[in-house]
Amino acid sequence: MGADRERVAIGIGSNLGDRRRYLEDAIASIREIDGVEHVVVSSFHETAPVGGPPQGDYLNAALTLDTRLEPRALFDVMRRIEGVAGRERGVRDAPRTLDLDLLLFGDRRIDERDLVVPHPRMSERAFVLDPLVEIAPDLVHPESGLTIAALHERLVARPAGEASR
């Protein structure tokens, strides 16, 4: 990876409509973004929702990619991809056709109103770490200094009820 590119991790999920199709279409759209290359996709994981109103199970996955885009530019494209999929924002943790979360962007730390990287709850969520550890076990979380494999191991080792599975 060149000095002008950064490794990015994205979480992806859907629990409305044709979940698999929403994920596959979003992955195809991400592969087409100018300035994005080397997209690697985990397997799909079916998971129970965490929080929010009663709703159906999610289909989740994780992606890694290399990009020369700035975080805001990539985030804005991700929001547009969600919009094309009919994503509606409003109620927190509500069901959604498509959810794209910017989990990690190299070793950057971003704290803006609508964009926080590393994703603040990623280390507590099996639906994020289970797929991410498949494709990027050695990726390092810039705040904890731990690899994704170590974060996953720590999460799996927690007593039942302490982790958001």
Q: Which of 65, 47, 49, 58 is nearest to 10 (CA)?
A: 65
Contacts 24+ apart (CB under 8 A), 74-80: 74/8, 74/33, 74/36, 74/102, 74/105, 75/102, 75/115, 77/33, 78/10, 78/30, 78/102
Catalytic (active-site) positions: 87, 96, 99, 101
Q: Which of 4, 34, 14 is nearest to 101 (CA)?
A: 14
Type of residue numbered 46: E
